């Protein structure tokens, strides 16, 4: 078994510092404490070339952190980079290639006009679809429209994802947004891609988060409170959105989640807290169904009933999610694991969920082009 | 705009592949798409480079059942018949 032994955030948001400083802010407390144990560094990052004009970020970063002697690699799987990086770290440890892997999820994206950053992110779409003027936010709007036609949710229930996640984010000192938002304000805010509004989309953020992923032989001697990676699953679907059978389900999420539950010997009902990939409000609802938490077409009811709020049956995105915590792309999947670590070790402060022992995270690349699901347990 | 039709099983793909995922054939012919029906459209305010500042993105279906996306020059509704063409930045559609 492989465990998460430590986690540390640099605040998400618009940051003045460069990608090295932000990454270092998240990694240095772990490096200072565990330098002698760390024997590999995995950097989760997708856009250092496009946004920062940097290639080979992993080696530049290990040099910056005075760990030039350690082997490293950069994992890029678009917005699913974080899940893939944890999968890589777990595999390095499980195979015996490494014993203690420092995972650094990092992205520096702000400082460009929205049109430019939207265009850069849209480059993950098939060129033939991108040339139709498509963007990731517009895909979420197509999904919302199809979901509303098929399952007749209340419009309010979809917007409630933003209300809930801003509420949670306001209790997370590392979140981009630190304030609550009312349902009325969400529904009166600027339309970005009809029908979805600005509060229903994640912001463009900078941020970094680091984890130490260790073997069983090491973890108990390194820390008292650790979280085990109980199971992982990766799934993939067609990158072409127009070619998909349905716009209200994401096949890669179903596949990765079924695999993660199978490999951990758990089922969706066992999960106490979950972090999902809420790039847009509707995605949290659709994913909550595809993971298996709710029946298809009924995820919106859970929002209305408060089941996914802190204090509900299955709190989702206690961190604030991408929606409020922010979405520094390479950092997001690592941040999900860090939130589960904080929750399962009782270090989540005001947003702490009581008696949680099984966690779940879904890291998703693009619009579900592929997905990585992880089940966590307490040691 | 071009769709790629598998020479063996006739399935059409909006994006180019080296091999047909259904039948394994490596032969494709290019099919010019000039008309389609709108399945849905999204009015997009925050648009990506290099496109204009505001437009409808349309999911369309061709007569043979293949689907793709285009940028509309006027407001498009579900069920509208479309003419498809290209301009210097991408795929455009308008009412037939
Ligand atoms: Zn074929």
The span from the CA of B61 to the CA of B67, in Å, is: 4
The span from the CA of A342 to the CA of A352, in Å, is: 8
**What is residue A178's predicted lDDT score, i.e. its pLDDT?**
96
Question: Please, is B37 exposed, middle or buried when counting C-beta atoms within 10 Å of its C-beta (0-12, 13-18, 19+)?
Answer: middle
CB spacing of A242 vs B69 below 8 angstroms: yes
Quick one: which of A8, A36, A10 has its CA closest to A210? A8
* Interface residues of chain B, partner chain A, Cβ below 8 Å: 1-2, 13-16, 40, 42-51, 53, 55, 57-59, 66-71, 86, 89-91
Residues 6+ apart with CB under 8 A from A328: A12, A105, A106, A107, A108, A109, A205, A206, A207, A208
**What is residue A1's predicted lDDT score, i.e. its pLDDT?**
87
Interface check A205 vs B, CB under 8 A: no
The span from the CA of B14 to the CA of B30, in Å, is: 10
Are A173 and A225 a contacting pair, CB within 8 Å?
no
CB spacing of B47 vs A115 below 8 angstroms: yes
| A250 confidence band (pLDDT: 50, 70, 90) | very high
Statement: residue A110 has pLDDT above 90: yes
Name the residue in chain A with its Cα closest to that of B50: A119
User: Does the predicted model carry a pTM greater than 0.80?
Assistant: yes
CB spacing of B43 vs A194 below 8 angstroms: yes
- Domain B34-96 carries which CATH code? 2.40.50.840
pLDDT digits (tens, 9 = 90+) for A69-87: 999 999 999 999 999 999 9
Strands A100-107 and B28-32: unpaired
* Residue in B57, B66, B68 nearest the CB of A138: B57
The mean predicted confidence, pLDDT, of chain A is 97
DSSP letter assigned to residue B59: E
The span from the CA of A337 to the CA of A275, in Å, is: 8
CB spacing of A190 vs B45 below 8 angstroms: yes
pLDDT digits (tens, 9 = 90+) for A196-219: 999 999 999 999 999 999 998 899
Interface check A242 vs B, CB under 8 A: yes
pLDDT digits (tens, 9 = 90+) for A129-164: 999 999 999 999 999 999 999 999 999 999 999 999
CATH architecture of A2-111+204-222: 3-Layer(aba) Sandwich (3.40)
pLDDT digits (tens, 9 = 90+) for A178-194: 999 999 999 999 999 99
H/E segment holding residue A200: none
pLDDT digits (tens, 9 = 90+) for B35-70: 999 999 999 999 999 999 999 999 999 999 999 999
Cα of A248 vs centre of ligand 1, distance in Å, is: 26
* Residue in B46, B55, B58 nearest the CB of A192: B46
Q: What is the dihedral of CA B53, A366, A156, A311, to 10 degrees?
A: -140
Residue ranges of domains in chain A: 2-111+204-222
SS3 B80: coil
Interface check A245 vs B, CB under 8 A: no
Encoded tokens for A221? 């001697």
CB spacing of B14 vs A141 below 8 angstroms: no
CB spacing of A131 vs B48 below 8 angstroms: no
| A379 confidence band (pLDDT: 50, 70, 90) | confident
**What is residue A65's predicted lDDT score, i.e. its pLDDT?**
98
SS3 A100: strand
The span from the CA of A296 to the CA of A79, in Å, is: 24
Give whole-number Cα distances, A253 to A59, A132, A291, A335, B7, in Å. Answer: 32, 26, 6, 19, 32
**What is residue A135's predicted lDDT score, i.e. its pLDDT?**
95
Are B94 and B83 a contacting pair, CB within 8 Å?
yes
Q: How far is A49 from chain B (nearest CA, A)?
A: 17
* Residue in B14, B45, B86 nearest the CB of A242: B14
The mean predicted confidence, pLDDT, of chain B is 95
**What is residue A60's predicted lDDT score, i.e. its pLDDT?**
98
Residues β-bridged to residue A275? A361
State mean pLDDT over A2-26. Answer: 98
The span from the CA of A217 to the CA of A213, in Å, is: 12
CB spacing of B46 vs A115 below 8 angstroms: yes
* Alpha-carbon dihedral sign for residues A173, A179, A182, A183: negative
**B chain contacts of residue A241, beta-carbon cutoff 8 Å:** 69
């Amino acid at each position: 078994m492989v465990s998460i032994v430590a986690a540390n955030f640099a605040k998400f948001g618009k940051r003045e510092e460069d990608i090295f400083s932000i990454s270092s802010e998240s990694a240095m407390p772990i490096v200072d404490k565990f330098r002698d144990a760390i024997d590999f560094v995995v950097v989760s990052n997708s856009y250092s070339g496009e946004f920062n004009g940097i290639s080979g970020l992993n080696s530049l970063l290990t040099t910056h952190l005075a760990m030039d002697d350690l082997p490293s690699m950069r994992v890029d799987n678009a917005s699913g980079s974080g899940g893939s990086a944890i999968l890589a770290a777990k595999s390095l440890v499980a195979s015996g290639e490494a014993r203690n892997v420092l995972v650094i999820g990092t992205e520096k994206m702000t400082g460009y006009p929205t049109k430019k950053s939207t265009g850069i992110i849209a480059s993950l779409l098939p060129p033939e679809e991108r040339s139709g003027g498509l963007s990731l936010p517009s895909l979420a709007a197509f999904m919302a429209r199809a979901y509303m036609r098929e399952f007749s949710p209340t419009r309010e229930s979809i917007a409630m994802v933003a209300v809930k996640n801003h509420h949670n984010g306001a209790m997370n000192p590392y979140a981009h947004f630190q304030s609550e938002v009312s349902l009325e304000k969400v529904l009166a805010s600027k339309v970005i891609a009809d029908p979805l509004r600005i509060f229903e989309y994640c912001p463009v953020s900078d941020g970094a988060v680091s984890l130490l992923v260790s073997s069983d032989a090491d973890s108990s001697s390194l820390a008292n409170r650790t979280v085990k990676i109980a199971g992982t699953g990766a799934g993939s679907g067609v990158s072409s959105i127009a070619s998909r059978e349905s716009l209200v389900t994401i096949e890669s999420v179903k596949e990765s989640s079924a695999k993660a539950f199978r490999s951990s010997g758990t089922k969706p009902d066992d999960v106490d807290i979950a972090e999902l990939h809420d790039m847009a409000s509707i995605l949290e609802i659709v994913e909550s169904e595809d993971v298996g938490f709710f029946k298809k077409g009924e995820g919106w009811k859970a929002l209305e009933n408060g089941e996914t709020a802190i204090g509900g049956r299955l709190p989702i995105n206690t961190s604030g999610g991408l929606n409020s915590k922010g979405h520094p792309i390479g950092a997001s999947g690592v941040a999900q694991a860090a939130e589960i670590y904080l929750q399962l070790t009782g270090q989540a402060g005001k947003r702490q969920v009581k008696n949680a022992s099984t966690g779940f995270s879904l890291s998703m690349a693009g619009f579900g082009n592929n997905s990585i699901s992880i089940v966590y347990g307490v040691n | 705009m071009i769709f790629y039709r598998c020479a063996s099983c006739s399935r059409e793909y909006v994006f180019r592949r080296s091999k047909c995922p259904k039948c394994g054939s490596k032969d494709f012919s290019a099919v010019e798409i000039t008309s389609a029906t709108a399945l849905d459209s999204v009015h997009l305010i925050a648009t990506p480079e290099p496109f204009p500042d505001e437009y409808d993105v349309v999911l369309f279906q061709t007569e043979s059942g293949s689907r793709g996306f285009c940028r509309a020059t006027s407001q498009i509704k579900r069920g509208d018949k479309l003419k498809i063409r290209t301009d210097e930045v991408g795929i455009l559609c308008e009412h037939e």
